[in-house]
């Protein structure tokens, strides 16, 4: 397994055009093309099953907050819902031919290991425009196959500054997605939790942002724990039963 590279040697100015594109334009047709292709791939090979996707509000600013094991998690989360999800991705991915896919697909960069204020400006702009932002509580991918011990404060900061609704998401099975090279395709399930929001805080403190991030991560952990306790079939069966119950 390759070691993760956290610092990008390129200056912040190298990414200005990516942020400008993300702030001023909706994702181009490449978003739908990639979503269709990867969704077919995910359903056929990984037997993807979205659970409780109806929890995702159909309008308004929204933060989708999943756990993160695989490079395909972006696509697993987006495949089960109709709304377009704008993800941030590590700046190292914005090079070579793929940078154009990310740029026109609505993705924007984050320079890890530094205080990247431009990323927060872009994220807030998208939420102000009523879009859906995808952000991982853990920051980068977990390399152990287990949830991280602690959330990163960035998601808490955005949640407090924007007051946007948050939908916690548990992705189960994607920790073994890299086994596809061995022709092993695990079943992947994505459970969408109930939306909630924090009272808006204009300039939250570090303690407040960490507390909010921890609260979001606790919701993700609770959803993930259901998979560990009941398995994929149990979670799907419970979701079906809840839909049958009268309001």
The pLDDT tens digits of the residues spanning 181-201 come to: 677 789 999 999 999 999 999
Mean pLDDT for the stretch of residues 202-221: 96
| Domain assignment present for 8 | no
| Domain assignment present for 10 | no
Q: What angle do CA 102, 107, 109 make, to 5 degrees?
A: 95
User: Which residues contact residue 178 at a Cβ distance below 8 angstroms, ignoring those fewer than 6 apart?
Assistant: 70
Angle, nearest 10°, between helix axes 117-128 and 16-24? 10
**Looking at residue 1, what is its pLDDT?**
44
| Domain assignment present for 4 | no
What length does the chain have?
247
Residue 2 has pLDDT above 70, yes or no: no
In this predicted model, what pLDDT tens digit does every residue of 104-116 receive, in sequence order? 999 999 998 888 8
Q: Tell me the CA distances in angstroms from 104 to 24, 33, 83, 186, 212, one per residue in order.
A: 11, 11, 17, 30, 31
Task: Label residue 4 by pLDDT band (50, 70, 90).
Answer: low
Spatial separation of the C-alpha atoms in residues 224 and 202, rounded to whole Å: 31
What would the two tokens of residue 84 be? 């377009």
Higher pLDDT, 181 or 119: 119
Spatial separation of the C-alpha atoms in residues 71 and 172, rounded to whole Å: 14
| Domain assignment present for 3 | no
In this predicted model, what pLDDT tens digit does every residue of 71-106 receive, in sequence order? 899 999 999 899 999 999 999 999 999 899 999 999
Mean pLDDT for the stretch of residues 47-74: 95
What would the two tokens of residue 122 be? 């872009």
Q: Closest Cα partner for 35 from 92, 83, 98?
A: 83
| Domain assignment present for 120 | yes
CATH code assigned at 142: 3.40.1130.10
The secondary element (H helix, E strand) that includes residue 20 is helix 16-24
Q: Closest Cα partner for 152 from 139, 167, 135?
A: 139
| Upper half-sphere CA count for residue 87 (Cβ side, 13 Å) | 23
Q: Closest Cα partner for 198 from 210, 214, 212?
A: 212
- To the question of pTM greater than 0.75 for the whole model, the response is yes
**Looking at residue 245, what is its pLDDT?**
60
| Domain assignment present for 220 | yes
| Domain assignment present for 77 | yes
**Looking at residue 142, what is its pLDDT?**
79
**Looking at residue 224, what is its pLDDT?**
96
Pairing between strand 189-192 and 49-51? Answer: parallel
In this predicted model, what pLDDT tens digit does every residue of 27-37 receive, in sequence order? 999 999 999 99
Mean pLDDT of the chain: 91
- Tell me how many domains the chain contains: 1
Higher pLDDT, 59 or 179: 59
178: containing domain: 15-244
| Domain assignment present for 1 | no
Coil/strand/helix, residue 15: helix
């Amino acid at each position: 397994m390759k070691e993760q590279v956290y610092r990008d040697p390129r200056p912040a100015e190298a990414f200005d055009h990516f942020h400008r594109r993300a702030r001023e334009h909706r994702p181009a047709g490449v978003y739908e093309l990639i979503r269709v292709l990867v969704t077919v791939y995910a359903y056929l090979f990984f037997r993807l099953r979205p659970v409780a996707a109806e929890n995702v509000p159909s309008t308004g600013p929204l933060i989708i907050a999943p756990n993160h094991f695989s490079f395909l998690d972006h696509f697993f989360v987006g495949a089960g819902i109709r709304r377009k999800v704008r993800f941030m991705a590590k700046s190292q991915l914005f090079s070579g031919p793929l940078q154009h896919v990310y740029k026109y697909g609505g993705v924007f960069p984050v320079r890890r290991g530094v205080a990247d204020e431009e990323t927060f400006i872009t994220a807030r702009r998208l939420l102000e425009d009523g879009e859906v932002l995808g952000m991982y509580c853990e920051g980068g991918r977990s390399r152990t196959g287990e949830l991280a011990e602690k959330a990163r404060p960035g998601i808490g900061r955005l949640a407090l500054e924007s007051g946007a609704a948050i939908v916690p998401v548990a992705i189960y099975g994607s920790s073994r997605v890299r086994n596809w090279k061995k022709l092993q395709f695990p079943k992947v399930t994505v459970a969408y939790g109930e939306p909630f929001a924090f009272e808006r805080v204009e300039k939250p403190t570090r303690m407040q942002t960490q507390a909010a991030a921890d609260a979001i991560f606790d919701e993700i952990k609770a959803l993930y724990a259901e998979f560990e306790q009941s398995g994929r079939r149990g979670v799907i069966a419970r979701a079906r039963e809840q839909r049958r119950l009268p309001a």
